[in-house]
A and B are shown apart, each in its own frame.
Chain A
C-alpha cells in the first residue's frame, strides 16, 4: 500500500496545494502545466502522485478526480470554499490511475528533453530529439483530459516541429523489430493529427501505413542508421595554439547545467577546464569547455556560422574570491575556448573558480548541485541499461522512451 497521504492546503493567495511543493535543484523536478494547475514530480524520487498547485479550482475539478481520486477532489473543493479543517484530513491513499501514469510519463519526457545529461566524456549518448518529440506529442494527446488550450498548442507544436522524424519511426515499426509501444505512439499521433485537423505529406504517409494494417513487414533495419546521429564527436585534442607560457595552475571548473540551454555543453562534471599561464610578469587564463552535441555547429552551413557568431557562451572566472569576470568563449569544433589576462601578482599562485554560462540565459550561480547532477547521470545510465535490455514487456507506461532505446542501440554499436 502506498505510504503517500496527500494533504490539501490553501495558500494565502488562494492557491490550493496538494502536498508540499517539491524542493531541490530545478533539474530534479518534472513539471506539467495542466488546466488550472501545475503538477510536479521528483525526478530522482519514486514516481507516484504529483504535488499540485491549483490556481483555478473550477478548471481543475474537470480532472482532479481522475488523477487523485474522488476524495482528494472533494477535499480540494472543501478547502477552496474555505474549510480549513479539510486540509488536515488525511486522504486515503490511492493507486495511480492510468491518467496519472500518463501524466507522470509526459512530465518526465519533457524533463528528458531539457535535462538529459548527454556527454561524450561520460559516455551518455544524446537522445534523438525527433523521436522524443513525437513520443511527447503522442503522450500529450493521451493526456488531453488534463490539458487546457496552451497544453494542446504545445502538443501541436511538438508534432509540427518533429514531423520529419515520422518517416523513420514508421520504418522502424514496419521492420517488425520495434517495441510494442511504437505502434501505439503512431496511432496516437494519427489520432491527434486528425483531431487537430493537420494534414500534409508525412501525416498522409503515416495514415496509409497504419491503414494497410498488416503492420510490421519484417524489413530488417539497423537501428543505428535510422536517424542521422548527432554528436558524432571527434574531440579536438588540446589547445589550438601551442601555449607559449609556463603553466602555473590548472583545474576543473563548475558545470552548472542551469546556466546554459540544453546541448550547449557536454554534461560531464569535468567538461570545464582551465589553465593559468605565466610569461614574464604576464598572467593569463585559458578556459576550455567541451561542447555539447546540439549546440550550434561551426562550419558546414552559413546559417550555423551566423548563429555561432551570435552565441557568446562565456566563462565566469573568480580569482582569489574576488568578483567574477567574464571570458567570452568561441566554439571551435567540439570545444569552446576563451582566454583572458589576469591581473594578479606574479609571485602568487592564484585560486581560481570557473563556471560556464550563456549571458542573458543564466539565472545566477545558485547552489552547488554536484551530488544531484551525479544522481541524474546515474539515473540516465540506469535507464539506458534498461533500454538496452530486450524490450517488450506489458508495462507500456513505465518503459523507456523510444529515443532511449535508439540511444542505447547506438551505444552498443559504438562499443
Chain B
C-alpha cells in the first residue's frame, strides 16, 4: 500500500497549476492581466484571483498548495465561471493605465494601485461602457487622494506652528520625566526558547505569551534608560548579567541609540532618509516621517494631529513602542541579531537557536549568490578597502543594521495598533527583517561597485546623428 506521504500526481495537483491552466483557458480577453507567456501575472493571482475569486478563507478546501481531484475541478470551474468579470477587469485595467498615462501620473505600481478597484468596477458595471472614462478618472483621483492628508507635507505644516511646538516640547519633557523606573532585571535569555521553536511547522511556543505577560520587553526598555555596562556598578540589580545579550562585545542598546542612554526625543521639523539617526535618537518628526514614507495604505493611519499626539507618549515609552508584544519582539530580535554571522566566520557566539540556523544559512546562500554575481566584500578588515570595507564592517556588526530595520517595522505596526499575537507572527517579522537586511547589503554593494567602475562615457550614443 502506498504511503500517504508519497503524493501521486493523479490525485493531488498544485493549486498554482490549476489556476494557471484555468486562466489560460479564459482566452485573450484577459491579456492585460497576464504575463508575457500567458500565465497570470503574479499580482493577478495575489491581488485578484486568490482574494477575490478563490477566497480560501471562506473556502478552506482551496487553502492548500495541493488540491485533490475534486477540489481542483471545482476551482477550475470557479475561475472559468469568472471569465466574464475577469475580462471586464482586464478592460478596466487597460483603460485606467491609459487614463493614468494621459494624466501624467507615474507614482506607484499600477497593478498594486488599481487591480482591486478594477475588479470592483467590473463587478459593479461589467465591461467599461459609456461614461467609463469619467469613472476611470474618478478612481485615479481617488487613489491619488487616498492618503487623506496623511503626508509628510501635512506633518511639516502641523509641526511648523511654534505654539504647538512649544506645547509638544513641554509634553515630551513631562512624559520623559514621568517615565516609570525599572522594576526588575532585564533578561533576554527566555527569548532563546521562542527562537528555538521558530520556523518549525506547527510548533507552538507558549514562551512568547509568557514573555509578553511578564513584560520582558518593558523591562529591557527601562533598563536601557538607566544603565550602561559602565554604570552597572551602580545599578547592578537591573542587569541579570553584565552581558545582557550573552556576549560582552555588544552594547546593551545594540545601536538603537548613539548615546550611552537614549536622550529625550525632540519635536523636530525635518528629516532625510540618508541621515536618519539611530531609532531612539529620532525626533517625533523623524519617527513619523518614516511611517508616512513607508506606508502603502496611509488611509488606514490615524490623522496627522492624532499621529503626533500619540507619538509623544510612544516616544517616551519603553523601546519607543506602546505594545508589549512588539517590545518583546525587540528582545527576540536582539537575541537573534547578536548571533547572526553574515560572513560565515563561524566563531559561534551565542548558543544558536533554530532561528539563528535558518537566518545564518540564508546568509550563507546569499554569500554564495554574491560570489557568483561577483559582488563580494573582503571578509577581513582592509584599511585600503574604502567604501567596500565599510560595508564589510557593517556585516561584522550585523546587529546594528538588523535592529534599526526591526525597530522601524515594529514602530510602523505600533502606529497602526498591529500587535503580534503569537510567536509565529513575530517570527515572520524577524525573518522578513533578516531578508531586508540582506537585500540592503546587496543593494549597497551594487551601488558601491557601480560608483567604482563608473565609466565617464555614456552607455550608448550614436556616433553620427
Interface residues of chain A, those whose CB is within 8 Å of chain B, are 11-15, 26-27, 29-31, 33, 35, 38, 40, 53, 55, 58, 61-66, 70-71, 73-75, 77-78, 80-83, 85-86, 89, 98-99, 102, 110-111, 114-115, 128-130, 141-142, 144-145, 147, 150, 161-162, 164-165, 167-168, 171, 188, 191, 194-199, 225-228, 230, 257-258, 261-264, 294-297, 300-301, 303-304, 307, 310-312, 314, 326, 328, 358-364
Partner of A359, one of B42, B386, B457: B386
Instruction: Determine whether the beta carbon of B460 is less than 8 Å from that of A228.
Output: yes
Knowing A77-B66, A225-B464 are in contact, say whether A310-B452 is a contact too (CB < 8 A): yes
Instruction: Determine whether the beta carbon of A99 is less than 8 Å from that of B455.
Output: no
Knowing A27-B374, A297-B455 are in contact, say whether A188-B36 is a contact too (CB < 8 A): yes
Partner of A78, one of B6, B110, B111: B6
Residue of A nearest to B19 (CB): A62
**Can you give 12 A-B contacts (C-beta < 8 A)?**
A62-B45, A77-B7, A78-B7, A114-B374, A191-B36, A227-B460, A258-B371, A261-B374, A296-B455, A359-B378, A359-B386, A363-B376
Instruction: Determine whether the beta carbon of A144 is less than 8 Å from that of B42.
Output: yes
Residue in A40, A144, A147, A311 whose Cβ sees the most chain B Cβ within 10 Å: A144
Inter-chain contacts of B374 with A (CB < 8 A): 26-27, 114-115, 257-258, 261-262
Instruction: Determine whether the beta carbon of A261 is less than 8 Å from that of B452.
Output: yes
Inter-chain contacts of B376 with A (CB < 8 A): 258, 361-363
Instruction: Determine whether the beta carbon of B378 is less than 8 Å from that of A89.
Output: no
Instruction: Determine whether the beta carbon of A74 is less than 8 Å from that of B384.
Output: no
Inter-chain contacts of A74 with B (CB < 8 A): 7, 9, 12, 14, 66
Inter-chain contacts of A297 with B (CB < 8 A): 455-457
Knowing A13-B361, A129-B459, A147-B42 are in contact, say whether A197-B106 is a contact too (CB < 8 A): yes
- Complex Cα spacing A195 to B109, Å: 8
Chain B contact residues: helix, strand, loop or mixed: loop
Residue in A83, A165, A360 whose Cβ sees the most chain B Cβ within 10 Å: A360
Interface residues of chain B, those whose CB is within 8 Å of chain A, are 3, 5-7, 9, 12-17, 20, 35-37, 39, 41-42, 45, 65-66, 97, 100-101, 104, 106-111, 199-201, 357-358, 361-362, 365, 368-369, 371-379, 382, 384-389, 392, 439, 449, 451-464
Instruction: Determine whether the beta carbon of A198 is less than 8 Å from that of B9.
Output: no
B36 shortest CB reach to chain A, Å:
5
Knowing A70-B17, A295-B453 are in contact, say whether A85-B3 is a contact too (CB < 8 A): yes
Inter-chain contacts of B37 with A (CB < 8 A): 98-99, 102, 142, 145
Residue of A nearest to B200 (CB): A14
Knowing A144-B36, A359-B385 are in contact, say whether A301-B456 is a contact too (CB < 8 A): yes
Partner of B453, one of A258, A294, A312: A294
Inter-chain contacts of B392 with A (CB < 8 A): 360
Knowing A13-B358, A62-B42, A168-B462 are in contact, say whether A78-B5 is a contact too (CB < 8 A): yes
